[in-house]
Amino acid sequence: MNHMNTLDSAGYGISQQQRHRVLRNTYWLLALSMLPTVLGAWIGVSTGITRSLTGGMGLIVFMVGAFGFMFAIEKTKNSAAGVPVLLAFTFFMGLMLSRMIGMVLGFSNGSQLIMTAFAGTAGVFFVMASLATVIKRDLSGMGKWLFVGALVLMVGAVINVFVGSTAGMMAISMLAIGIFSAFMLYDLKRILDGGETNYISATLSLYLSIYNVFQSLLALLGIMGGDRD
């Protein structure tokens, strides 16, 4: 009887203990995934290896690399290769982020802008994690709307790569912060409700949301607060 009480009421059939284990493993792997990201960003900034990846070429390299890695992660998530493949992906994402970080570091207040974006992203994650624990209603219906929003956002971002509009970049960044903050809440609630039982998949989803919020905050801060003096 006690065991039955620990099962998820939404019908997933996942015990409270199993859900907490998935959440704990996800948080550990998420923290670990930040190390290759920072390493990739540092190597990218130091060597300038991604400086030439502008416009369409940069977009192609990013899309092929990111979707290739995500496909590989989904294929290996239930095997011993899952974690190394995920960490390799986060290193790649750090490399891809290095071009923007390098541009922001070109401002006299670049380091402060990066720390502000980091603090803002951490704040968003903390708020969404807190909300996920107190919201009782089922949020699974948000999934399809967030997916559509992410698709629209991606199309807008691709168009803006070729248009090069600063106003467009600001609008896309603000929209991305809203959409991926909501994705954090959705993914965390899904873990807590027992809807996601694979911590590698859970980490991938949360990592992408954190990455996009940080990148968008950094872009906004660079546009609005960059000081060249």
Q: Which domain holds residue 36?
A: 14-225
For residue 116 the two structure tokens come to: 């502000």
CA distances to 94, 129, 139 from 40, rounded to whole Å, are 4, 27, 34
Residue 39 lies in a domain: yes
pLDDT score of 228: 65
pTM score, whole prediction: 0.87
State which residues of the chain have pLDDT below 70. 1-14, 52, 54-56, 226-229
pLDDT score of 25: 93
Residue 3 lies in a domain: no
pLDDT score of 142: 85
Residue 2 lies in a domain: no
Q: Is 44 exposed, middle or buried (0-12, 13-18, 19+ CB in 10 A)?
A: buried
Residue 36 lies in a domain: yes
Residue 4 lies in a domain: no
List, for residues 177-220, the tens digit of each pLDDT value.
999 999 999 999 998 888 888 999 999 999 999 999 999 999 99
pLDDT score of 3: 38
Residue 6 lies in a domain: no
Tally of domains within the chain: 1
Average pLDDT, the chain: 86
Residues 6+ apart with CB under 8 A from 101: 41, 44, 45, 114, 218
pLDDT score of 4: 35
For residue 119 the two structure tokens come to: 């603090």
Residue 9 lies in a domain: no
List, for residues 89-112, the tens digit of each pLDDT value.
999 999 999 988 988 988 888 889
Residue 101 lies in a domain: yes
